């Protein structure tokens, strides 16, 4: 009682685009006020009704979000056979009592009894729950398998690490891969496939930035037709974007991420200690993804403390990916600025850092969107310089973008911050001009 299940549950359902069931509200809608049920039929009768509604709401079918009354855990067998994520919304007893007292809740009339129930139920919550959260972001992250903790929590049968990260943090990796985009090649994937000694029940742990995550996820998706994997992203780009949502891939000379697979990790572990060792340029690269996510959400995430930037961006992306896990609709919004960025990266032979390319790509997307003032603000934050490369090579790479249709670019634009437009066809001349403006 007083944990905020109804409010947070409704918000989580909205973010995930799923139906919401509040067990207490549905009981009241069918049988009348819970206080009257307790008064006329007693708590045991209410618990029977509650168990019936819980089983019905959690039955196989359309995925949904269910808010379950705090006392349901005391009914034997009510959660037996439940196939789903169980989140314990944690709240301290003083806060819970302050929220619940003074109302018509039948079990929140006596403070001593309330506190005794809290202590009796708490071990049951901890035993039953598969995740712990305090707000909607926490529930969404749990639903996507994203957890904040130590990289040592990720245990596997093979540990693949970025060679620089392994040296810096003294990791005992079983396999090392090159730092940066150089890892995302067919040759590196083939080398790992040949070196791995795993079976179908094995797990691979990836420790490194976004490129390491993309490569190892792709290898995990394809080795033995798929083995489990745990990414531990060590860069800001990785923690706010690359390691969330199950997209994996490698590059071809013709374009970025042209070969890949959807392979959701068992769990993504975000360890903030890795960010403390990042040089300023690498943090700025990651900030480009933070700015992009903020533009999609209509909020300036980059103005938050770093740990909160990671949490808010990760939760936003997790919700989008859970609504569209295989990128068949709205998930495309996450590519804001990327059509231009990937073209620049490919034309440079992948020597331009992704964050720098994305900073330029965001400027182009905002300008094509007609949001020149927003483009100026983003330029002030990210400070990207134009790049020296072959314009024709960049244009050829852009036309090979995965979102192009029959060679015609399809862009992600913004009507306004917080209002993305997906799959927008723009005159090639405008797209080419916006791309050329990024090149010296």
Question: For residue range 363-377, what is the model confidence (pLDDT) as tens digits?
Answer: 999 999 999 999 999
pLDDT at 85: 92
List Cα–Cα distances, 417 to 4, 124, 137, 277, 293, in angstroms. 29, 44, 20, 32, 10
- How far is 391 from 197, CA to CA, in rounded Å? 44
Question: What's the pTM?
Answer: 0.92
What residue ranges of the chain are covered by domains with CATH 3.40.50.1970? 148-278
pLDDT bracket for residue 31 (50, 70, 90): very high
Q: What is the DSSP string of 221-275?
A: HHGGG--EEEEEE-SHHIIIIITSSSEEEEEETTEEEEEEEE---S-EEE-GGGG
Strand 419-425 with 410-416, pairing: antiparallel
148-278: in CATH 3.40.50.1970: yes
Strand 247-252 with 228-233, pairing: unpaired
pLDDT bracket for residue 81 (50, 70, 90): confident
In contact, 89 and 5? CB cutoff 8 Å: yes
What residue ranges of the chain are covered by domains with CATH 3.40.50.300? 5-137
Class at the top of the CATH hierarchy for domain 330-436: mainly alpha
Cα–Cα–Cα angle for 405, 288, 434, rounded to 5 degrees? 45
What residue ranges of the chain are covered by domains with CATH 1.20.1090.10? 330-436
* Helix ranges, 146-205 (H): 163-168, 186-195
Question: For residue range 101-115, what is the model confidence (pLDDT) as tens digits?
Answer: 988 889 999 999 999
Class at the top of the CATH hierarchy for domain 5-137: alpha beta
Structure tokens at 101: 């007292």
pLDDT at 272: 95
* Helix ranges, 58-106 (H): 93-100
Question: For residue range 239-266, what is the model confidence (pLDDT) as tens digits?
Answer: 999 999 999 999 998 888 999 999 999 9
pLDDT at 429: 93
In contact, 284 and 382? CB cutoff 8 Å: yes
Residue 405, pLDDT > 80, answer no
pLDDT at 424: 94
Q: What integer is the mean pLDDT of 32-52? A: 91
Residue 152, pLDDT > 80, answer yes
pLDDT at 378: 98
Strand 146-148 with 87-89, pairing: unpaired
The 3-state DSSP class for residue 68 equals coil
In contact, 237 and 180? CB cutoff 8 Å: no
Which of 94, 132, 130, 129 lies closest to 115, judged by CA? 94
Structure tokens at 231: 């990414």
Q: What integer is the mean pLDDT of 403-428? A: 89
Question: For residue range 55-78, what is the model confidence (pLDDT) as tens digits?
Answer: 888 887 888 999 998 899 999 888
Q: What integer is the mean pLDDT of 284-298? A: 97
Look over the chain and give the mean of its residue pLDDT values, rounded to a whole number: 94
Surface-to-core class of residue 71, CB atoms within 10 Å of its CB (0-12 exposed, 13-18 middle, 19+ buried)? middle
Rg of the chain on CA atoms, in Å: 25
The 3-state DSSP class for residue 159 equals strand
Q: What is the DSSP string of 97-155?
A: HHHHTTSS-TTSS-HHHHHHHHHHHHHHHHHH-SEEESSHHHHHHHHTTEEES-GGG--
Q: What integer is the mean pLDDT of 189-201? A: 96
Question: For residue range 261-289, what is the model confidence (pLDDT) as tens digits?
Answer: 999 999 999 999 999 989 999 999 999 99
pLDDT at 401: 80
Q: What integer is the mean pLDDT of 195-211? A: 96
In contact, 26 and 124? CB cutoff 8 Å: no
Sign for the pseudo-dihedral over CA of 88, 94, 99, 101: positive
Residue 191 has a CB neighbour count (10 Å cut-off) of 14
């Amino acid at each position: 009682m007083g944990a905020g299940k109804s409010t947070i549950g409704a918000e989580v359902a909205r973010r995930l685009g799923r139906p919401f069931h509040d067990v207490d509200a549905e009981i009241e809608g069918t049988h009348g006020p819970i206080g009257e049920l307790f008064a006329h039929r007693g708590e045991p009768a209410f618990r029977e009704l509650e168990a019936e509604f819980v089983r019905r709401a959690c039955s196989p079918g359309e995925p949904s979000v269910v808010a379950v009354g705090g006392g349901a855990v005391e009914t034997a067998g009510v959660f037996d056979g439940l196939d789903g994520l169980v989140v314990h919304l944690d709240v301290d007893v003083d806060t819970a009592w302050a929220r619940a007292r003074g109302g018509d809740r039948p079990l929140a009339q006596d403070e001593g009894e309330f506190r005794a129930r809290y202590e009796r139920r708490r071990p049951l919550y901890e035993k039953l729950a598969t995740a712990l959260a305090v707000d909607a972001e926490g529930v969404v992250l749990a639903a996507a398998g994203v957890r904040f903790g130590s990289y040592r929590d990720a245990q596997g049968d093979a540990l693949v690490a970025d060679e620089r990260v392994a040296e810096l943090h003294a990791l005992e990796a079983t396999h090392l891969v090159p730092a940066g985009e150089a890892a995302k090649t067919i040759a590196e994937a083939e080398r790992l496939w040949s070196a791995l000694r795993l079976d179908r029940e094995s797990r691979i742990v990836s420790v490194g930035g976004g490129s390491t995550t993309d490569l190892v996820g792709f290898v995990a998706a394809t080795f033995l037709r798929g083995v489990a994997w745990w990414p531990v992203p060590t860069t800001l780009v990785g923690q706010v974007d690359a390691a969330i949502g199950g997209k994996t891939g490698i590059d071809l000379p013709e374009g970025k991420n042209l070969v890949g697979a959807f392979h959701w990790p068992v769990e993504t572990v975000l360890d903030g200690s890795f960010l403390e060792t990042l040089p300023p340029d690498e943090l700025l690269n990651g900030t480009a993804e933070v700015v992009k996510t903020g533009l999609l959400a209509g909020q300036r995430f980059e103005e938050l403390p770093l740990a909160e930037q990671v949490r808010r961006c990760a939760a936003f992306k997790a919700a989008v990916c859970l609504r569209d896990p295989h990128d068949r609709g709205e998930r495309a919004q996450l590519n804001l600025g990327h059509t231009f960025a990937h073209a620049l990266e490919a034309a440079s032979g992948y020597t331009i850092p992704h964050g720098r390319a994305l900073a330029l790509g965001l400027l182009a997307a905002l300008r094509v969107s007609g949001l020149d003032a927003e483009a100026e603000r983003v330029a002030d934050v990210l400070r990207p310089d134009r790049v020296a490369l072959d314009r024709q090579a960049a244009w050829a790479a852009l036309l090979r973008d995965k979102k192009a249709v029959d060679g015609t670019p399809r862009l992600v634009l913004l009507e306004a911050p917080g209002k993305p437009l997906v799959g927008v066809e723009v005159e090639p001349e405008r797209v080419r001009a916006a791309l050329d403006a990024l090149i010296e």
